[in-house]
A and B are shown apart, each in its own frame.
Chain A
Amino acid sequence: MKVIQKPQLRILLYVFLLAIIVGLLPLASAAAQGIDTSGITDDQVNAIAKQLFCPVCESTPLDVCGTQACAQWRELIREKLAEGWTEDQIKDYFSNQYGDRVLAEPPARGLNWLVYVIPPLVFFAGAFFLYRGFTTWRNLADEPDGEPEPENESEVEDQDEYLARLEAELKKQK
């Protein structure tokens, strides 16, 4: 039977103690801030994080962003949730702290309202112009001839003369 020697036992003890300390570090960090975030799940954090955007990278939602800045922001959301803040309170906090641009849905104030007004306006204007266009084309199609008849003899002669000149020019080209 293999007997563990005293120095080996001491090393094992140190390793065991080190593992305990490393395991407790996150809890110690939260405790140092006076906030217990252990009850907050990643899903709860990401439900809010996906409504916010990364502060330093273009168009990346916070829940899928891998930068350290985003990790810190997600941790901030976790802390605020642990403090009992609601989703709206947290979004307002981020908006006040970092500006409206961090919100996935900017509030309809200032120039932001254009984002909400222009797309439907363009849609309805497009529908209106299409409707008018179709109506005009249908009216044209309903007319007996596509082109208006020449009104008098001189106009017919003008057209004939023009056609004759055009044909002559085309022959020259050949």
Chain B
Amino acid sequence: MEAEKQVPEPNQTPETGGPQWGRIVAWVGLLSLLGLVGLGLVRAQRGPVGVGDPAPDFVLTTYQGDQFDSQDLRGKVVVLNFWASWCKPCEQEAADLESAWRYFEPSGDVIFLGVAYTDTPTESQKYLDKFEITYPNGDDLGTRISQAYRITGVPETYIIGPDGLIAHDQIGPFMSLGQIQSAVEAALAP
């Protein structure tokens, strides 16, 4: 006796893959992964913050233990300098930055902040002593500040206007004291 052959109904789709929920989970997982990779790529290619952008918020704890919250500094011009003791171009501008700080400090309208990027405390202190730097400096703990500003290296300096927007960005060292002074004065101008 011949076995009866099962014939599918004309409108019935033959089952070819796994269960429906399995496919949905696989697609959702794959799309989420692609989304994450895409987001990472977009973030990586954004480049540093630029002039006119809102300055990312940060809290800097100095080597003396003082805390500077960027939100409390609104109304002042903030010169935020990223540096490292192993960075030779940083040495080029160190003395000029200190001179500029001494020039603007009496006004009370300007604050200079130094952020040591991936530096060791011992070497940072040696660097500060070598260039007799007196403005507040501290470690970039967890590299949070440098990541917020998406810096591409050191030195980089961001001058934040009293309105909290980036007024000047300096990628690489300042070439002279005059250059720092004019950038800060431009940020101070209403």
Contact = CB atoms under 8 A, between A and B. Distances in A.
Contact of A98 (B7, B33, B122, B142): B142
A56 B152 CA distance: 10
Nearest to A77: B120
B190 interface: no
B106 interface: no
Contact of A68 (B16, B86, B122, B143): B86
Chain B: interface residue count, which band? 20 to 34
Given A72-B86, A96-B142, A99-B143, A136 B16 contact: yes
B86 A98 contact: no
B122 A79 contact: yes
B86 A67 contact: yes
Interface string B130-150: 000000000101111001000
B141 A96 contact: yes
B87 to A, nearest CB: 8
Contacts of B17: 132
Given A99-B143, A132-B18, A151 B122 contact: no
Interface residues of A, number: 26
B7 A55 contact: no
Interface in B86-142: 86, 118-120, 122-123, 139, 141-142
Interface in B4-44: 7, 16-18, 26, 29, 33, 36
A72 B119 contact: yes
A156 interface: no
B84 interface: yes
A98 B36 contact: no
Contacts of A97: 139, 141-142
A96 to B, nearest CB: 7
B157 interface: no
16 contacts: A55-B118, A69-B84, A69-B86, A79-B122, A96-B142, A98-B118, A98-B143, A99-B144, A99-B147, A101-B143, A114-B36, A118-B33, A121-B29, A129-B18, A132-B18, A136-B16
Given A114-B36, A118-B33, A128-B18, 19 more contacts: A33-B122, A67-B86, A69-B84, A69-B118, A72-B85, A72-B86, A72-B123, A76-B120, A96-B141, A96-B142, A97-B139, A97-B141, A98-B118, A98-B142, A98-B143, A99-B143, A99-B144, A125-B26, A132-B17
